[in-house]
A and B are shown apart, each in its own frame.
Chain A
């Protein structure tokens, strides 16, 4: 029983990686530009389509992914530099609505540019069938089997390396210091001589690139690509952010680990007698638990309470 429980939890490894990357991207933009980027998933989908298009032209996915990330980053910089900085009266709510406008733009542009989205061929980061290797790793422990897909392991390694590097830079580099300063107060940061325009532009580029990376990982697991295919992940990422609290960078990551693990743990309950039908209610239960936690602790699990001044 225990082994099969561990196996179920391991099954959420890939969605943990995807949600982590997206949640970090959302937090990064929220902290530096004080807005939630609804277009995160659409930019990611666009980048993923670019990778798929290159794949159809013969370029393997692991080579195409950096290209897709660069395309995504270009969109990120475009939104920050040419839309947010040029608008005459762009406040917090207007920024949100502009990103929402971009959702529509991408929903329209993707079918126009890449054609009908029906079943686009894609491959995992490492193509097992071509190399004649089994896609799963099976470990036998205590009379049970632990099954992990190699794709999930590769994705986890990449996620760990990328997020580890970013967190190290955030803590120890000059860039990290300027991001943290901008996040705490943009005006003061400007007064201290930090080029906040550059900081937000890099944040947008980084966030969009991470979004594309997570989309490539998700598509590699065999999900059908469409303009909306990252939508559900984005909702999870948003909820992970408020669950962990926007006020720290690591809070959302922990939230993003909790949600998929919790979902699989709830799904595991279906093995017990009388709870067979719980699979259908999986997400309802998970979201309800998250909502309850947020109601009890509105600033998030790791958030700091903000004192309001009149």
Chain B
């Protein structure tokens, strides 16, 4: 319960960002980072609790983006309809991949989802290479919608999905998932359905990725599929990296990891001249950071934070003992 209140409080703080005088470029960067954070939460659920590796995130992001384009721009329907269609289609895809994951495991599964993502990306390029949404066509509940509204929508979706995932993890379903992760055979022997939980893990990650794609399309409104890295393996790898840096078992940790990979560059470093001239430097730094963290702190930043908390606790205990003496 306490966790839920903290999440809601964090959401209110994020929603307040545009109203405290931050420049619109920083808010925009925050918005896109939160969109990537939605993907990362879904991915962390899949990897940290389902124990399944997927490299298909980018493809499902594309599904959301293309549905948003066709529903909102081509058929002029409201955003809520796009939302429903995205969830429905990505749900079906998640179930499909979940079934596949029963037959194929480990590295094969990761490479298979990579293939699936490539199929989706090639399909998108064949359907339409550039997708664009006009601001005037964006409508929610019959009202015209601006960038600020979309930002608030992103924060709301992020917080709701965060709450859903946290509560899923702390429910019997979450505990069953962990047991399936640790030993599928032993879990089955205890009467836990492998099919049900694998499918659930994939549905969560797929739906989250597709919803993130939808939000991205609404927020950025202009994507060139053939040249963008958004639907390529780079995004899937970056999301994986974010989850690992932050710690796949901690949702807020992986959110922070997303912030490190996507947020810092666009929010702070874009002001410093050196980094504007050499944007490649940050890419390199991210890579070095990933390598160091994986080498020495496999639990990610969340683990570092926990260790620090523990040490500080012990420190205060020692001083107490000292005081008693």
Binary contact track B271-298/A, C-beta < 8 Å → 1, others 0: 0000000101111111111110011101
Q: Of A87, A96, A110, A231, which one neighbours B232 at CB under 8 angstroms? A: A231
Contact A108 B291 (CB under 8 A): no
In whole angstroms, what is the CA distance A294 to B100 when docked? 10
Contact B287 A87 (CB under 8 A): no
Binary contact track B108-148/A, C-beta < 8 Å → 1, others 0: 10111011101100110110000000000000000000000
State whether A102 and B283 are in contact (beta carbons under 8 Å apart), knowing that A97-B240, A238-B111 are contacts in the complex.
Answer: no
Chain A residues near B103 (CB, 8 Å)?
295, 298
Chain B residues near A153 (CB, 8 Å)?
none
Chain B residues near A109 (CB, 8 Å)?
280, 284
In whole angstroms, what is the CA distance A116 to B98 when docked? 43
Q: Of B183, B281, B298, which one neighbours A89 at CB under 8 angstroms? A: B298
Q: Of A91, A105, A241, which one neighbours B284 at CB under 8 angstroms? A: A105
In whole angstroms, what is the CA distance A90 to B296 when docked? 9
Q: Which of A72-123 contact B (CB under 8 A)?
A: 83, 86-94, 96-98, 100-112
A281 within 8 A of B: yes
Q: Which of A286-310 contact B (CB under 8 A)?
A: 287-288, 290-291, 294-295, 298, 308, 310
Contact A102 B291 (CB under 8 A): yes
Contact A104 B100 (CB under 8 A): no
Contact B104 A298 (CB under 8 A): yes
Contact B284 A104 (CB under 8 A): yes
Contact A112 B244 (CB under 8 A): no
Contact A90 B114 (CB under 8 A): no
A280 within 8 A of B: yes
Contact B119 A284 (CB under 8 A): yes
Q: Of B111, B240, B281, which one neighbours A100 at CB under 8 angstroms? A: B240
Most buried by A among B100, B244, B282: B244
Contact A235 B126 (CB under 8 A): no
Contact B283 A298 (CB under 8 A): no
Which residue of chain A is the closest to B127 with respect to CB atoms? A280
In whole angstroms, what is the CA distance A298 to B103 when docked? 7
Which residue of chain A is the closest to B237 with respect to CB atoms? A100
Contact B284 A108 (CB under 8 A): yes
Which residue of chain B is the closest to A90 with respect to CB atoms? B295
Contact A295 B281 (CB under 8 A): no
Contact B118 A287 (CB under 8 A): yes
A239 within 8 A of B: yes
Which residue of chain A is the closest to B287 with respect to CB atoms? A104
Most buried by A among B185, B240, B290: B290
State whether A88 and B296 are in contact (beta carbons under 8 Å apart), knowing that A284-B122, A295-B100 are contacts in the complex.
Answer: yes
A194 within 8 A of B: no
In whole angstroms, what is the CA distance A241 to B110 when docked? 13
Chain B residues near A36 (CB, 8 Å)?
107, 110-111
Contact B295 A235 (CB under 8 A): no
Q: Of B115, B123, B233, which one neighbours A291 at CB under 8 angstroms? A: B115
How far, in Å, is B56 (CB) from chain A's closest CB? 12
Chain B residues near A235 (CB, 8 Å)?
114-115, 118, 233
In whole angstroms, what is the CA distance A235 to B115 when docked? 8
Binary contact track B91-106/A, C-beta < 8 Å → 1, others 0: 0000000001001100
Which residue of chain A is the closest to B47 with respect to CB atoms? A93
B241 within 8 A of A: yes
B308 within 8 A of A: no
A283 within 8 A of B: yes
Contact B290 A97 (CB under 8 A): yes
Contact B111 A239 (CB under 8 A): yes
In whole angstroms, what is the CA distance A219 to B118 when docked? 23
Chain B residues near A283 (CB, 8 Å)?
118-119, 122
Contact B294 A98 (CB under 8 A): yes
Which residue of chain A is the closest to B282 with respect to CB atoms? A108
B186 within 8 A of A: yes
State whether A284 and B290 are in contact (beta carbons under 8 Å apart), knowing that A107-B280, A109-B280 are contacts in the complex.
Answer: no
B53 within 8 A of A: yes
A46 within 8 A of B: no
Chain B residues near A110 (CB, 8 Å)?
280
Which residue of chain A is the closest to B291 with respect to CB atoms? A101
State whether A242 and B111 are in contact (beta carbons under 8 Å apart), knowing that A90-B295, A100-B241 are contacts in the complex.
Answer: yes
Chain B residues near A97 (CB, 8 Å)?
240-241, 244, 290, 294
Contact A108 B100 (CB under 8 A): no
Contact B123 A101 (CB under 8 A): no
Chain B residues near A239 (CB, 8 Å)?
111, 114-115, 118
Which residue of chain A is the closest to B286 with respect to CB atoms? A104
Contact A93 B280 (CB under 8 A): no
Chain B residues near A49 (CB, 8 Å)?
none
* Interface contacts beyond A36-B111, A283-B122: sample of 5 additional A-B pairs, CB < 8 Å, sorted by A: A97-B294, A101-B291, A107-B287, A242-B111, A280-B125
A-B contact pairs, 8 of them (CB 8 A): A94-B295, A97-B244, A101-B241, A103-B287, A110-B280, A280-B125, A287-B118, A308-B185
Query: Which residues of B come within 8 Å of A, CB atoms?
Result: 53, 100, 103-104, 107-108, 110-112, 114-116, 118-119, 122-123, 125-126, 183, 185-186, 232-234, 237, 240-241, 244, 278, 280-291, 294-296, 298
